[in-house]
Amino acid sequence: MPPPKVKVAIVGTGLIGPRHAEAVLKNSNAELVCIVDPNPAARAIAQTLQCPIYESVEAMLASPLEPNAALVCTPNHTHVSISKELLQGGLHVLCEKPISVDAESGRELIQCAEAHSRHLLIGHHRRFNPYVVSTKTLLPTLGQIIAVNGLWTIYKPAEYFDPPTEWRRLDSAGPIFINLIHEVDILQYLLGPILRVYAEQTMSQRGHDAEEGAAITLRFASGAVGTFLLSDAVVSPHHFEGGTGENPTIPKTRQDFYRIFGSEGTLSVPDMTRWTYNNCKRSWNEKLDSETMEVPDLSIPFELQIEHFVRVIRGVEAPSCSGIEGLRAVVVCEAIKKSMKDQQPVDVVV
């Protein structure tokens, strides 16, 4: 007899909540039992999803639904308080990134999950992206990783910051904590912990409290170094969403956003071109050979993440991105913001 379906609630119906809800609906081992959102506009979404809606976590917990798990898809600064309420209510939690907007509250959330013996996963879904999966598999073929260069450069229109999402103008909601945190998680997932950062902030065009970007240097525990250019206020095709086509609302550009340099070869992503010296010595006098590497045909990352969440709850898989893994990304982003402010290199301490 198959195990019962995992009953899942979606908390928050902004841009990402409905995408998670659709992923739950497609999973044969999960059941979407409700959404939670006080916004009147969310009622239409609940009607489309054909599920009940509650205005608060408290109201949901008092209902007879008895969900096993919840996905937190609310504004960044609410992640800790809402996730704590759910964990204390006995639910396993998959919290959208970032786990928190500061390291201290992130640690408190991890402790809360441990105290209530609940799973806390952080929604760095790009770990399930086929280009990331393929890159991680190919890294050993590059030899010792020496350096990495990354880009996340795009243009967000003015309406992105309009109500009801004017919270994106806040200092806690700039591209460092909304977008770069994804990149930091991927880089640490691929290359290991980042130990030191230095960042110079880009000029402000909008006048919001939120930064618009930065030029960043990275030092990894492995000895590798890196550079990363971040901006949400420039016209550019170089960003993860456009390169991979992951986000259906952002046109695919197919342009590269990572270049990983090793002692035996270099890989650019997402075109997956690997450059090596084949059958000859390594020398700038020799001809480099290029080869396009295969990318696995996988399901949509959000769907794979829900499948993984269910398997973690059932005890058959360890979390891919646990609370502590999510915290590592926050600590790096926090260090980057501090470096911009102090104009000094900052060591990363988890």
| pLDDT tens figures, 84-130 | 999 999 999 999 999 998 999 999 999 999 999 999 999 999 999 99
Q: Which domains does the chain have, with CATH numbers?
A: 6-126+301-319 (3.40.50.720), 130-296+331-347 (3.30.360.10)
Contact yes or no for 125/246 (Cβ under 8 A): no
Q: What tokens does 6 get?
A: 């995992």
For residue 314, is pLDDT > 90? yes
- Average pLDDT over the chain reads 95
How high is the pLDDT of residue 3?
87
Q: Which residue has the tokens 């000029």?
A: 203
Q: What is the pLDDT of residues 155-192, one digit of tens each?
A: 999 999 999 889 899 887 899 988 999 999 999 999 99
Contact yes or no for 199/176 (Cβ under 8 A): no
Q: What is the pLDDT of residues 61-80, one digit of tens each?
A: 999 999 999 999 998 889 99
Contact yes or no for 70/11 (Cβ under 8 A): yes
Q: What tokens does 337 get?
A: 């913001």
For residue 279, is pLDDT > 80? no
Contact yes or no for 214/200 (Cβ under 8 A): yes
List b or e across 279-297, with b for residues whose CB sees 16 or more CB atoms inside 10 angstroms. eeeeeeeeeeeeeeeebee
Q: How is residue 85 annotated by DSSP?
A: H
Angle at 269 between CA 345 and CA 140, to 5 degrees: 80
pTM given for the model:
0.91
Q: Which residue has the tokens 């908390």?
A: 11
Q: What is the DSSP string of 182-205?
A: HHHHHHHHHH--EEEEEEEEPPPS
